[in-house]
Amino acid sequence: MIARITSLAAIGLVVAAAVPVSRPADIHGEWVKYAGAGGDSVLAYLAFPERPDPAPAVIVIHENRGMTDWIQTVADSLATAGFVAIAPDLLSRRGGTAAQDDVRRALSGLPPDSITTDLDATYTFLRTVQAVRADAVGVVGFCWGGSQSFRYATNNPALRAAVVCYGSGPNAADVTRIGAPVFGVYGQNDARINAGIPETEQAMAAAGKTYMKTIYPGAGHAFLRTREPAESAAAAWRDIVGFLEKELGR
């Protein structure tokens, strides 16, 4: 059963006072719960564009900060661009992001298989939403979620597009299972993550997979959230939307 939740207080999510609560007039956002594995439920934020026909859809994977208000704004922005967007709280099995004393530690302790299971549940749920074109689903992730986006592409060859925002690449042996074209978004000043790009490029090329990337000038890790520098953040967002439109349709 799918539970739809309209109250933020009902799920214990705290929204910073500086973040506007109202959404753009041309989208609708709501909280949903759907069945995961072993009887657990996954909590997710679901945003819809205002359009007369079913839309392509995007799974949004959060940073190592967990399910934050910023991730909601990402889903809202994707909806504004014409996609149905769903952002699951991947700490749902452990009471959700708001229940954690140390979100990063909680995320690092998640078994990879349980992450895949919950993303599979999200993908399956999304394909049942009547406003979604079931054959046009992609994924985008940021930081920890960027790495998970790349990893999930190795586990779900039915995805039509994958965007990896400053995340690391998967094991070379796993890239053979990727079915989607992958777009990597990186900051010039993010040497830790960027050090792995050549190995990822080599593995993807050897496997005959499509891997495109852009390294944005003056940008560091998490620059899409910090919006520093603003020009690079704006350019990266345009590129992400353009890539998703190309691969998923409009």
Active site residues: 143, 190, 221
Q: Give the span between the Cα atoms of 194 and 220, in whole angstroms.
A: 10
Give ∠ CA 151-58-64 in degrees, rounded to 5.
Answer: 50
Q: Give the span between the Cα atoms of 31 and 20, in whole angstroms.
A: 17
Q: Give the span between the Cα atoms of 5 and 11, in whole angstroms.
A: 8
What would the two tokens of residue 189 be?
């000043």
The DSSP element (H or E) to which 87 belongs, if any, is strand 84-88
- Least Cα distance to 159 among 194, 119, 128 occurs for 119
DSSP calls for 9-72: GGGT----TTS-SS--TTEEEEEEEEE-GGG-EEEEEEEEE--SS-EEEEEEE--TT-S-HHHH
Q: Give the span between the Cα atoms of 191 and 56, in whole angstroms.
A: 34
Q: Give the span between the Cα atoms of 212 and 164, in whole angstroms.
A: 10
Amino acid (1-letter code) at residue 49: P
